[in-house]
Amino acid sequence: MSDPAPLTHDVPVDISPLVRRIVAANPSHMTGPGTNTYLVGVDEVAVIDPGPEDAAHTAAIVAAGAGRIRWILCTHTHPDHSPGTAALVEATGASVMAWSNRGGLRLDRRLRDGDELVTDDWTIRAVHTPGHAGNHLCFLLVDEGLLFSGDHIMQGSTVVISPPDGDMGAYLESLVKVRDLGPVAIAPGHGHVIEDPRSLIDWYVTHRLEREAQLHSLLIGMGTARIAELVEAAYVDLDPVLVPMAKRSVHAHLRKLAAEGQVDGDGARGEWRALSPADDRGTGRTATARGT
C-alpha cells in the first residue's frame, strides 16, 4: 500500500480501494501537516476523526461523502481530532461512536475493545489503546489489514505522552498489542501511510525503553533532579518549542518508573530521585509519584 500523494489540505486522496484521506488545515509542531480525516467505504461511509472545528474541512468531508456518510468514529477527544464532529453530524445525521464522550463529544454508541461496525462491504474493529489518552481507540479495517492509529502511532515523529491522562506504561503495552495484531499498514492521525508497521513499532518501543534507561541513569548520577534539569541533560540541541512536550514525556517516564519502584518524586515541578533496593527493604515504603 503506497502513499505518494501530497498531504494537501481539504483535498480527498485515495489511499486504498476503500479509503480516502482528507487533511485538515491545522498544521503545527504538534499536528505536523495537519490532522488526517479518513472516509471508509463506497456505498456506506464511516468517517474516522472529523478533525478540528473548521468549516472548510467539514465541507470537504461532506462533499467527499456525497450523501453516503452514516457513521463518525473518533479515535479520541483531543481538540485536533473530534471537535469537528458536531458540524458533521448536523450536515449528515451520522451516528457518533467512540470510547467516551469527553470533550463535549456526544455519542450514539460507546465502543469497547473488540467491538465491530459491519456492513456488506467492510468491517471496522475497535482496538482500545490507552497511553496517549485513556480513551484512545485505534480502528482496524479488517478487510484490508489497515489500522487507523489516531495519535497512538504517527508518521515522522514520536507521540507525546502527557500525564495524568497520558500513561507511559499503558502506552508501551498498547504498542505491543497493536504490533501483535499484525496490521499490513497504518493510516496515522498525522502524516503519510506507514508501510512497515512492525519495524516502526519495534523502534517506538526500543526508543521509549532507551529513554527510560537514560533518565534512570541520569537520576542515579545526579542524586536528585527536577524534570526541567532532566530534559536539559537528556535532550541535546532540542528546539525550544519542543521543550514543553519533552517535559511531559519525561514526567510520564518518571511516573512509570515510580510505579515500578525504581524512582520516587514529587510531580511535575518537584524533585525526583532514584531508589536503591535498600530504600524499600529498610522502610517497607512504596515508591510514589506525588503531586500528579
- Catalytic positions, written as ranges: 80
Q: Of 234, 240, 229, whose CA–CA distance to 273 is shortest?
A: 229
What residues contact residue 7 under an 8 Å CB cut-off, 6+ apart?
A: 23, 33, 34, 191, 192
Quote the cell numbers at residue 94: 451520522
d(CA 292, CA 288): 10
d(CA 291, CA 36): 35
In total, the chain counts a number of residues equal to 292
Burial-class residue 286 by CB neighbours within 10 Å (0-12, 13-18, 19+). Answer: exposed
Total Cβ atoms within 10 A of residue 114: 9
Query: String of b and e for 76-105 (b: at least 16 CB within 10 Å)?
Result: bbbebbbbbbbbbbeebebbbbbbbeebeb
Pairing of strands 263-266, 185-188: unpaired
| DSSP summary character for residue 69 | E
Are residues 50 and 74 in contact, defined by beta-carbon separation less than 8 angstroms?
yes
